[in-house]
Amino acid sequence: MVSSRPVVSAIDLFCGVGGLSYGLQEAGIVVVGGIDLDPACEFPFETNIEASFLQMDVAKLTAEHLDKLWIKGAVRLLAGCAPCQPFSPYRRGVDTSKEKQWPLLSEFGRLAKETKPEILTMENVPRIGSTTVFGKFVETLQEAGYQVDWQSCHGPDYGLPQSRRRLVLVASLIGPIKVPRSAISRSSTDTVRAAIGHLPPIEAGEADPNDPLHTARSLSELNLRRIRASTPGGTWEDWPEDLRAPCHRRPSGASFRNVYARMEWDKPSPTITTLFYNFGTGRFGHPEQDRPITLREAAMLQGFPRKYRFVRPKEPIFLARLGRLIGNAVPPPLGKAVGEVVISHVAKQFEA
């Protein structure tokens, strides 16, 4: 006789707009709450996840806060993505160890020790895996009795239409657990075309009247000429000389081929950063329309469904704020893959 499958109850630390939580829910996990210091996360988290949002500094969070949220008698999952800016590859060579975000992963470890949830999962940039703060985090979990596994995961292997790499860690007190090595067979579904090709066309500086998030930043006359001279997958080297910036003419310009560039329809997008709405900060030009990608397109390339709500009705759209929220989000398909591993792991451990 097999016992009924236990409920997995999750709390999402550093929850942002709810990308990780949405993926966990898709896998069948009950998300009961999210914690983040940013008040802009409250509406998207509560609206889409339909769970409690606690605006709070994780460094001030206690075991009592978490114990009030988890479902009594359920298998508890503590999940989260500590802010990754100090460990970003764009900060390579810069001493970030004094930044206030550096010790936040240690706060995650502290809460794990204080509450001892059965399962943990953490997501971050791959570079964090070589840092002392990550090594201490793993050591803390192992000393508390957790079996731990982590690896760098490539987005398209999990159904994400984006070439994004993230370090994923899973840990369990109830048996060996492994990070999902992949979730799907690679197919045409992990392309820019499959993700955003069906959205209505708009011009630079315009917004879709039916979807305020489908709005594109305007372009200067010079950048409009540049994007018209750009080809999907090409570089600024395709431009006439008079369109090239002074930095392109310097020897170091060869290192910046993926700025002022268009995406390609039939490949995954590049990594969606917090500045994706700006044509000049990466390969963020639409494959055929003469504009940067929109907020909605970036969200869908991050794996959010088109229906996902980021702002209240009639709330002003601020590109910088929403760009930060979308670019920093955990892609839901990656969260779903981790959630499926957790569900399978728990079912196996609780088989009669």
Whether 263 maps to a domain, the answer reads: yes
Q: What is the pLDDT of residues 136-193, one digit of tens each?
A: 999 999 999 999 999 999 999 999 999 999 999 999 999 999 999 886 665 557 899 9
Q: Do residues 236 and 111 share a domain?
A: no
Looking at the structure, tell me whether residues 41 and 165 fall in a common domain.
yes
Q: What is the pLDDT of residue 89?
A: 46
87 and 111 assigned to the same domain: yes
Task: Mark whether 169 and 100 lie in a shared domain.
Answer: yes
Coil vs helix vs strand at 55: strand
**Which is catalytic among the residues 41, 81, 84, 153?**
84
Q: Mean pLDDT for the chain?
A: 90
Q: Which helix (H) or strand (E) holds 76?
A: strand 75-80
Q: State how far Cα 14 lies from the chain centre.
A: 11
Largest CA distance in the chain: 76
Task: Give residue-wise pLDDT tens across range 308-324.
Answer: 999 999 999 999 999 99
Residues 59 and 125 in one domain: yes
Q: Quote the pLDDT of residue 120.
A: 98
Contact 30, 10 (CB under 8 A): yes
Give pLDDT, residue 246.
77
- What is the distance of C-alpha 132 from the center of its chain? 23
**Do the bridges between strand 8-13 and strand 30-36 make them parallel or antiparallel, or are there none, so unpaired?**
parallel
| CATH code of the domain containing 299 | 3.90.120.10
176 and 257, same domain (yes or no): no
Domain identity same for 68 and 98:
yes
Do residue 33 and residue 171 come from a single domain?
A: yes
Q: What is the pLDDT of residue 69?
A: 97
Residue range(s) defining the domain that contains residue 106: 8-188+329-349
Same domain membership, residue 310 and residue 337:
no
CATH number at residue 134: 3.40.50.150
Which residues of the chain, if any, have pLDDT below 50? 1-2, 85-101, 352
Do both 157 and 224 map to the same domain? no
| Cα torsion through 222, 259, 188, 25, rounded to 10 | -110
Check if 84 is active-site: yes
Instruction: Please indicate, yes or no, whether residues 184 and 203 belong to a single structural domain of this protein.
Output: no
User: What is the structure's pLDDT at 251?
Assistant: 63
Number of domains within the chain: 2
